[in-house]
Structure 1
Amino acid sequence: MAPQKMRRWAKDALGTVLLFVAYFATARLGLLMDAVAGFATLVWPPTGIALAALFLFGARLWPGVLVGALGVNLVAGATLPEAAAIGIGNTLEALAGSFLLRRVARLDPRLERIHDVISLVLLAAICSTAISAAVGVASLWLGGTIAPALSWATFRAWWLGDMLGDLVVAPLLFVWLSRPRLARRRFMAAEAVAVAASLVGCSLLVFGARDEGGLLRQSYVIFPLLLWAALRFAQYGAVNGTFLVCAIAIAGTAMGLGPFVRQTLAESLLHVQAFLGVAAVTALTVAAAIAERSRAADARDEFLAMASHELRTPLTALLVHIQAELRSLRRGGPVRERDEALRHLESTQRFALRLAKLIGELLEVSRIVWGRFQPEREEVDLAALVQESLARQEQQLQQARCLVRLEVKGTVQGHWDRGRLDQVIDNLIGNAAKYGAGKPIEVRLQGRAEDVLLEVRDHGIGIDPADHARVFERFERAVSRKQFGGFGLGLWISRKIVEAHGGSISVMSQAGAGCTFSVELPRSASRN
């Protein structure tokens, strides 16, 4: 155990040192760009580096941010109290951004969803950066470094500089460190060179001249090339293309070239930053939209293959039983015993019910997606619904060798949709029997002041914490389809039903330690 702790400590220490070096070096570069009041610059890559490092490798690397910010501001001429306050503000910014993206937005650093891009823009680039800007400006004002009249200009420069770091540098690191390589295709390398050369050439044409005369020297001519990069090379094209354009645009503007040159360098950088921010968000959004479209097409193909298999299995078994019965009747043999006939009919019924359930799930998806699902409320006793579900699934529970214990505390009545809640309860108990075969199941109902809590606990294979949110999505499963059949729709439908009642559904589980699914249902619609 001690060697493992030592290795982890050494790894964290190395990461902290590398983060400090990267932060300090890029911060010194940023402060050379005509920083307002000497400290607020419109070019601040360290923000993106700190956000990516703390999100990808853990918040425990925060000392690298603190020491880097403290050191670079002391070198820039800040007093120790000012540098310490600025360092704390920059560290809080990185910690807040990584926390919001991880816990609130559940960001996928591959940035393959539009939700991820919007979360990065709103939570990290806009919200978390305001912390550093506010703390930094307040510390400089209290220290007498800036006059009150310069507060807004300093805050704006600080905020926008940090914002661009989160929009350009952080996505670059996110994608390169977390996304798998692109699948190779014919002439891919040649096309990549062509895209890069076009972006560099066009950026030099726009940002390498002292005037913006000519049709091809307008800043908007960059966008078709960024879209080309995003469409053909997904997130890699978006982040690399944006970074190339950003580097050339900032360098050209700093040398007094390009369409955004104004009377001062700070004013020039302010205008070019606004352009680059729009370009970055556009490229990332297009790449995410393409990725979502590609995933939707893959999911469609996978679903069609899965649906044909899942529907064919019970249908084939059903036909086999029917054909066997027909052959037996056509032979005109002796009348079979009642018990044998009953056994064959029960087996046929099981396959028919399974087929009906699968078809019902598909129809339910259609109703929910098209907004045709509205709960029909009536007075319902949840304990009675659970007992009815257990009676319906008695044979399945016996076959799975699952002993069920039901516990009811308090009154568990409310105004709910009886048929829809039947689906939720059947699904939770059925899953407990499927994935916890041979082990007991506990069903607990607890009446509370304004809602009712339903818990279904099994002791089966469990769900890895990383998959907790995913299992409630459409067509998602935490187990292999080869081992357990189904469409992966049951928990998604259950979540939609519970949310339509104004409630919530969640899971607590560890791999190999069973699951506890919790449903909280408000007693009436007025309390949703």
Structure 2
Amino acid sequence: MMHNFLANNRSELIDRCRMKVAQRPERGATAGQLQDGVPTFLDQLIRTLRIEQSLDPMESRKISGPSDGTSSLSEMGVSAALHGQMLLELGFSVDQVVHDYGDPCQAITDLAYERDAPFLVDEFRTLNRCLDNAIADAVTEFSYQRDVAVESGKIVEMNERHGSFSHELRNFLGTATLAFAAGKAGDLSFSGATGNVLERSLDALTNLVDQSLGEVRKTAENDQGFSLFSLAELVADVKQSADLAANVSGCVFTVSHVDSRIGIRGNRDLLYSSVMNLLQNAFKFTQAHTEVTLDAYADADRILLDVKDHCGGLPGGDAEGLFLPFVQNGRNKSGLGLGLSIARRSMESIGGELSVRDEAGKGCVFTISLPRYAMTLE
């Protein structure tokens, strides 16, 4: 019987496993780990095998767990989970978790061969089941605890970024407030030194907010948030916001009719943000009193959104250079030069494309291309 063989050779098996662990330099096992890990597993395996030879063999599942891979609380599962957590805390990889359970299996096999010990097929099946369940529980707990640790690290990092942003924001805002209060109290002209302080503070606030928005948009690209939504409704929302920007820029903004049956599957917020980036770019560079247009339509199995301006065309025709981050080609150097770069990456993240066509002497046409879907509206 395997349980008798394991019980009679328990010390020998434990010594062999300890030697295997000690021979792996990357393992670096402590005396406590060598004392508790393998002996616990062997004792549970011995008890499992004994119960399976009794009148109620299914009771062994309380120790070793079921054989069908279903979730079940067992003594071996609890011990294995603690083992997986311990290895994570020590900084080991998931491979090490598996290796630690391969050691007793190899030790049992080697010693049985040396002693010519006969085992039943069912006993080998029980050994394999115990190993499978222990490895699965240890790896599951290892992975879970690792993910929790990673997520906790992200939260700490996010809090640090928010704290830094708030600190800088407060400093710049405080300086601007003081300059304004000083000018108001002294009835000073804002063309002097106090006005310069106020202007620099407001410029710094603007740059800080722009940088923060750039980080938020880049982070949002990793969060797909896919859904099916109406192209017509999206364009209507875009028009409502873009009309205000067009008025400030002194240009005419025209939106073509959109078929209400056309649907898009993707991240609505990313698409809205990308279209607004293209329009803001168009309003910024189109010549005074000219027209910016937004056309949204279906072409075969694709949805196209065209933003056309009258900027006069690209110097040298360098279209692809527009999408490089921090590149500003026009005379207007306001902003960070990130809008087009973020828009392209956003579209690529949801399976779309963003391209530009230079109309020499006239302007540019930016085109977003996405898969087409039917929209059922009630």
**TM value normalised by structure 1:** 0.36
Q: Which one has a bigger Cα radius of gyration?
A: 2
Which has a greater percent of helix? Answer: 1
Which has a greater percent of strand? Answer: 2
